[in-house]
Amino acid sequence: MNRRLRIPDLGGAVAVILHRPHATVAALSRQLEAIGLQTLCHWPDLPLAIQAADYLFLDVDTAHDEQFPWQPGRAPMPTIALIGSEAPGRIEWLMNFGADAQILKPVGTAGVYSALLIARATFDARAEMSDQIDSLRRRLSQRQTVVRAVALLAARGKTEDAAYDQLRQMAMAWRVSFEEAAARIVDTAGADKEARDG
């Protein structure tokens, strides 16, 4: 499947730079402002308003987990790693953090725009994949509920086909989805069992 890259409108976007005061920050800020982004520089802490930012640039050489109010790989915006040291420990930290793009330091006059586009595309693809996984999990859970409901109905002396037809008819009579009808049957059976056991 080929994904068509959607070029975002970067004018007015907000980029937060988490980096100690350094020439890298000045060079990166110039590039971002030339592209049309507003830059906010912070070190060592991120403000609570960080989640309203459109992009986050972070210094991999000195960043650590405690600086971020989210779990690794769960950033609420596209993240771009600024890499100066290729020490194995720092690269391992970066891979666990899950940045969407990277720029090697020192930051020059090129690479920032493409890093922004790559980060946005990677972030969007990851979010879409996460939504699809959640949807598949819900559907799997619903299928398991349907199987349980059919088994409960079949336990009353019906064949599986007859129980399945009864479930379908119940859904139509209740004017709910097939899965919702199954959930009602399973919930009712659970409540009945609690009442008997209690």
- Enumerate domains of the chain plus CATH numbers: 14-131 (3.40.50.2300), 136-197 (1.10.10.10)
What's the pLDDT score for residue 194? 74
Spans of the chain, pLDDT less than 50: none
The pLDDT, as a whole number, for residue 2 is: 64
Cβ(77)–Cβ(53) below 8 Å: yes
**What is this structure's pTM?**
0.73
The single-letter code of the amino acid at 89 is G
pLDDT at 1: 52
pLDDT of amino acid 47: 87
Phi, psi of 59 (to 5 degrees): -85, 105
Predicted local distance difference test score (pLDDT) of residue 66: 94
H or E, element range at 128: helix 112-154
Tokens of 93: 């930290």
59 DSSP β-pair partners: 82
Tokens encoding 33: 């402002």
82-120 core/surface letters (b: 16 or more CB in 10 A; e: else): bbbeeeeebeebbeebbbbbbbebebeeebbeebbbbbb
Neighbour tally for 31: CB within 10 Å:
22
Res 143: pLDDT:
86
